[in-house]
Structure 1
Amino acid sequence: MHFPRIPLPRTGAAAAVLALALLAACSKDAPPPEDVRPVRALTLAAGGVNASAEFSGDVRPRYESRLGFRVGGKISARKVDVGTSVQRGTLLMQLDPQDLRLGQAQAQASLRAAQTNADLARAELKRYQDLRSQNFVSQAVLDQKIAAAHSSQASVEAARAQLREQANQTGYASLVSDTDGVVTGIDAEVGQVVQPGTPVVRVARTDEKEVVFGVPEDQVDELRQGGEVRVRLWADPSRAIPGKIREVSPVADPATRTYTVKVSIPASEEVRLGMTAVVDLVRQSDHAAGAQLRAPLSSLVQNKGASSVWVIETVNGAQRVRLQPVQLGGVAGNDVLLAGGVRAGQTIVTAGVNLLKDGQKVKILSADVARRGDAEAEAGGGK
């Protein structure tokens, strides 16, 4: 007898498949390893440093005279060119002296006429004195003759003074240098008619020179406190010339908004007028306070308008970074002075600061960890 085959339910297989599906749904991928970023770091060290700043300027004479004729006239000769070295009394320019000579001749004629009148007045006075002694004239008439004689003598003195003045003006037709120096500019040429006092030649003294440059308004107050000044010429950057701040302008230039500073330098033939110079201003920080630490400019991060640095700290055995705001105390060459926010002994990131985030794990490149103390600070400030 044949019975039909009845299929059995596949309960065990279904359960196994369901279990595998549940396990697959509940399982998650293993978290990726935390990114560790290699950085360069520096351990801050306390010590006095020299805050320095460099400014570009040019060499100028301390004294430069704009010379002009004391009388007016037409320029007839020019004896010097720009760059000519002159001595005291060297002839620079000449005016046409013809009109001045005519004036001098007129003054001489006036003096002779005044002397003739004075002689006549004295002769008349002598005659009237004789007549008065014989009582032929009154005392009043004699007094008039005495006054006339005195007046004529005064006219002689006035004419003589006029002649001397005219003779001086004739001598003023020649413009001479009043000092030893060099001609730095010519403002008039032959044939030009000039008025008295019009500048025609510029002469600069070469015995005293200075470097003139502009300082931003945020540094001028610190500059007035003084400090060491060194000047280097572009023609010879290896040579440092000691200088002294002579003048700081109290008013900013309306165009550049900078304050003009003048630094006196020793006289030297190697330093020529117009040379470009770099002025290095060095101010010694307070060594005892120890408030300023030195760090590279590359370690600074701008966060919400404030300057900050990444401080490396050890958290649960791992080195992580934390953003720390700092106060700046100035610039020293390629480094910045940290006046607050960090302390000596802390380690900060010096390279790769823009790729970090707060709490990120880092790896310090051991070859780049360094300490900066007094010796290196002194070397950096005395570059």
Structure 2
Amino acid sequence: MFAQSFFPAQHPIKAALVLAISTTVWSANALAETPQVPVVTVGAQAVSAGLELDGSLQAVRQSTLSAQASGRIAELNVKAGDRVKAGQVLAVIDDRATRAGVAQSQAGVAQAEAQLTNAQAQFDRTRDLRAKGFVAQAALDTAQSQLKAAQAGLAAARAGQTQSSLAQGFTRLTAPYDGWVLQTHAEAGALAMPGSPVLTVYAPQPIRAVVYVPASQQAIAQSAQRVEVQLPGSGAWVVPASQMRLPAADPVSQTVEWRLDLSRDDGADQTPGAQVRVRFVDTAAAKPQSDRLVVPSSALLRRGELTAVYVVAPKGSDKPEGFALRAVRTGNSHGDAGMEVLAGLKAGDRVALDPVRAGLAGAVPAAK
């Protein structure tokens, strides 16, 4: 009854008008709740010369300790992350055979010493008897020959003892210096063969940054006025205490290794393997380089090793404009100008300036 009195059948135009107004208000509220994300059009910009690459930290003194004898690993006394002292026994390979060899060589030395003592006494007696004329010269010559043979036998026995002691030492892996265990490559009970790695140790100081510069960009790196390393954690850029470039390029990757030694203060508490950024700064370069695609740093979305941006997706016949996630490969940072994009974008692409909001459901580019 109420509906009939409010919308009488004889007034269909009024009912349609009320429905249109309600639909318009709902559409306006829905549009207000839709994430509006500002975008920027990517284009080539003139940027200054320079080069920035990813590198990693590396301990200058790092050693992989390998087995020198075959046998089962009887003891593994350390694990990754343990601190070690120079000369500390880190692992022991089953040494029952080598211990038997040491015992046998010790017995051989004792036997040779006894034979030498007997030969020396026989020689002394024969010499005295020869001096008194009781024996012939031939008897003295024989005693002297037996003495020399006993001396040579003792020398051979002692050499055998040294050899067995060395073989016994090969069953023990000791720390070459004070440092830390970086990695273990085997477990107790595993079979070790000569040359097979057992564990890796490193000294915390000194430490260096290693970067592989493409051969095509060597000219930029060599002409740089200054080289800087961005330390992990703090984000500070520091100048290495010394630098060295290897004289040859890798034939497979076509890169040249640069080793940048950090000072003791800059390298303190740093961990080998950590990723760093290395930049070759050409402070004297006043000539800009063109044809570089640059996007604002705020537009980049970093998730682990993935670097991506949200690109405006074209409007379809049945859907409005939206955003699509696209992986990119970045190059040098150009400060306020943004980050250079080497791959993944082209001039004219529109990129979201707020990648977090662009990833929300229903996000659309903001109206200009």
TM over 0.5: yes
Alpha-carbon deviation of 1:299? 10
CA contact (8 A) 2:55 2:210 kept: yes
Letter in 2 for 1:126: D
Answer yes or no: is 1:212 the counterpart of 2:210.
Answer: yes
1:227-279 Cα deviation digits (max 9, x unpaired) = 31111135333x11222553323332233222122211123334222211110
Computed over aligned residues only, the root mean square deviation of the Cα atoms, in angstroms, reads 3.3
Count of aligned residue pairs for this structure pair = 257
Residue matched to 2:74: 76
CA contact (8 A) 2:80 2:183 kept: yes
Distance in 1 of aligned mates of 2:164 and 2:67: 15
Answer yes or no: is 1:254 the counterpart of 2:255.
Answer: no
Letter in 1 for 2:270: V
Distance in 1 of aligned mates of 2:275 and 2:203: 19
Residue matched to 2:111: 113
1:105-144 superposed matches below 5 A = 105-144=103-142
Normalising by structure 2, what TM-score?
A: 0.61
Residue matched to 1:264: 261
Larger relative helix fraction: 2
Distance in 2 of aligned mates of 1:258 and 1:93: 37
Alpha-carbon deviation of 1:114? 0.9
SS at match of 1:293: coil
| Cα distance, 1:63–1:160 mapped onto 2, change above 3 Å | same
SS at match of 2:147: helix
Residue matched to 1:24: none
Answer yes or no: is 1:242 the counterpart of 2:243.
Answer: no
| Cα distance, 1:299–1:155 mapped onto 2, change above 3 Å | closer
Letter in 2 for 1:261: W
Once the two structures are overlaid, the 10-residue window that deviates more, 253-262 or 103-112, is 253-262
- Structure 1: segments with no counterpart, 5+ residues: 1-41, 287-291, 301-330, 337-352, 355-383
Distance in 2 of aligned mates of 1:109 and 1:130: 32
Alpha-carbon deviation of 1:88? 1.6
1:174-200 Cα deviation digits (max 9, x unpaired) = 322111222222222222333344431
1:274-296 Cα deviation digits (max 9, x unpaired) = 2111101113327xxxxx43476
Residue matched to 1:368: none
Residue matched to 1:85: 83
CA contact (8 A) 1:229 1:245 kept: no
| Cα distance, 1:73–1:223 mapped onto 2, change above 3 Å | same
Distance in 1 of aligned mates of 2:192 and 2:87: 21
1:188-337 superposed matches below 5 A = 188-225=186-223, 227-237=225-235, 239-244=236-241, 246-267=243-264, 268-285=267-284, 292-294=286-288, 333=334
CA contact (8 A) 2:48 2:287 kept: no
Letter in 2 for 1:280: R
Alpha-carbon deviation of 1:223? 2.6
- Structure 2: segments with no counterpart, 5+ residues: 1-44, 295-331, 338-346, 349-368
SS at match of 1:231: strand
1:11-67 Cα deviation digits (max 9, x unpaired) = xxxxxxxxxxxxxxxxxxxxxxxxxxxxxxx9x9xxxx9742101111111221111
Distance in 2 of aligned mates of 1:254 and 1:148: 65
| Cα distance, 1:297–1:106 mapped onto 2, change above 3 Å | same
| Cα distance, 1:332–1:82 mapped onto 2, change above 3 Å | closer
Residue matched to 2:317: none
Alpha-carbon deviation of 1:71? 3.6
Distance in 2 of aligned mates of 1:121 and 1:298: 91
Distance in 2 of aligned mates of 1:231 and 1:97: 47
Distance in 1 of aligned mates of 2:111 and 2:224: 69
SS at match of 1:65: strand
Residue matched to 2:165: 167
Normalising by structure 1, what TM-score?
A: 0.59
CA contact (8 A) 1:111 1:163 kept: yes
CA contact (8 A) 1:185 1:202 kept: yes
CA contact (8 A) 1:53 1:333 kept: no
Distance in 2 of aligned mates of 1:299 and 1:162: 72
Letter in 2 for 1:265: L
- Identical columns (%): 27
